[in-house]
Amino acid sequence: MSQRSSTFALSRRILMESRKFWPHIWLIFLVSLAATPLALLTPVPLKIVVDTVIGEQPLPSWLEWLLPSSFQHTNETLMLIFAAALMVAVALLMSLQGLAAWILQTYTGESIALSFRAKLFQHMQRLSISYHDRQGTADSLYRIQHDSSAVQYIVTHSAIPFVSAIVMLIAMIATTALMAWDLALVALAVAPVLFLLSGISGRVLRERWHRIKELESSAMAVVQETLGALRVVKAFGKEEHEGSRFVHRSGQLIRNQVRMAGLEGGFDLGVALTIAVGTAAVLVLGVNRVRADSLTLGELLIIMSYLAALYAPLQTISKKVAEMQSWLASAERVFARDPDDAKAHEGEDQKRRAEMEARNQADSLVYSAEKMMRESGDKVPQELKGEVESKIADLKNAISTNNAAQIQTATTDLNRVLQQVGQAVYSKAEAGDGTGPSTGDGAGPSEGQQGAGTVEGEFREV
């Protein structure tokens, strides 16, 4: 499967996993869209000051339609105050919009992450025992706690800003083209270069991120294995060895992260250089238009401001494509867990469960048999005593082979001999207590003897 189709399939699956939170996602998207008109309003106060307060140009036509005509002919001081108030209002609204978007993103993202972690945890429990034996628990822990966050960040911190940046890009292009279409075309000339850089970086970074996450998981595995068997590690004096293992794997992780930082830095450098070239080209053409009186200075300032706002979404799109590779790599690791694994290994799991149950029963039976021989061995006939010891040895050997059939056979044999021992011990105890029926001489006092020692007397009230 190509990376493009893989990305599309992953994105679709992530959206399906987060469908429970679609209303929250749509609300975040709508709040994020509010940033577009606010960004368009940001340079307007500067244009009013340059063209109307300092210069003699009229207000923009849309402001003339909004403001009463009496206000449009006021003195420059009131117009300057209006421009300053508009600048403060726009800044306040942008801050409130950013705060609302951040709160909604945090709540929705954490809720998505919790829901997906719980689902992944249940899935991990259903996977076969053989899978966990092969893979280890540390890797599963890493996927549940860290890789699962990919759903949260792809949806709320990457996909929504990505789409919002596209909407803002379209708005900036349309607004700039209304004032100077040739400058808008020059500004857009850098877009293909940025998209090309994003495509190249995406292919390279995804593979690198896979390697980094595997190394992070392996370093965590060393810590978990060591602390989980700390008594054994201390008993054999292996602290230094385990420390060396951890440092070695963490060193590999650091080297890969440094290489990743270099790749991302090179990509950022390419994006920044491309944007700088586009900005310089628009500045040169814009100054020539001002000199030719086909563009006012205020319009050039607002175009340059829009240009910065135009390149901001382009830069955001390019950066999000690179940033998403880390989360897409995590998503691939999470969704790589085969949902049919448990069913495919069901027979093997049942076999291993039967082996464990047979072994537990056998261990319990061996303990009971040895305890009985210690406490009542003198009451067991010699021939049965030797047979019990032989069957105990056979069962211990069967347990060491971990073969359920052999363990079951040896358990049955030992149980049969123990039943014979129980019957023999009971019979011997019954005969020794003399509670059995009378069989002749001296078996019990006779009726005459019972009466011989009887003393009769009279009873009289005094």
Q: What residue ranges of the chain have pLDDT lower than 70?
A: 1-7, 61-62, 64-75, 128, 130-131, 306, 309-310, 312-323, 336-350, 428-462
Q: What is the pLDDT of residue 348?
A: 63
CA distance 178 to 42: 17
Q: What letters, b where the CB count within 10 A reaches 16 and e where it falls short, cover 361-400?
A: ebeebbeebeebbeeeeeebeeebbebbeebbebbeebbe
pLDDT, tens digit, 9 for 90 and up, residues 102-127: 899 889 888 888 888 888 888 777 77
Q: Using CA atoms, how far apart are residues 130 and 135, in angstroms rounded to an integer?
A: 9
C-alpha to C-alpha distance for 14 and 29, rounded to whole angstroms:
17
* Other beta carbons less than 10 A from residue 232's beta carbon: 10
Residue 75 and residue 69 in contact, taking contact as beta carbons nearer than 8 Å: no
pLDDT at residue 443, as a whole number:
43
Q: At what angle do helices 297-335 and 160-179 cross, to 10 degrees?
A: 160
CB atoms within 10 A of CB 194: 20
Which tokens go with 273?
A: 């250089």
pLDDT at 347: 63
Q: What is the pTM of this model?
A: 0.52
Report the amino acid identity of residue 457: G
For 126-140, write each residue's pLDDT tens digit: 776 766 777 777 777
Question: How much is the pLDDT for 181?
Answer: 76
Q: Please give the pLDDT value at position 313.
A: 63
Alpha-carbon gap, residue 96 to 79, rounded angstroms: 26
- Contact indicator for 278, 311 with CB cutoff of 8 Å: yes
Which domains can be identified in the chain, with CATH numbers? 3-337 (1.20.1560.10), 348-431 (1.20.1270.10)
Q: How far apart are CA 134 and CA 35, in angstroms?
A: 50
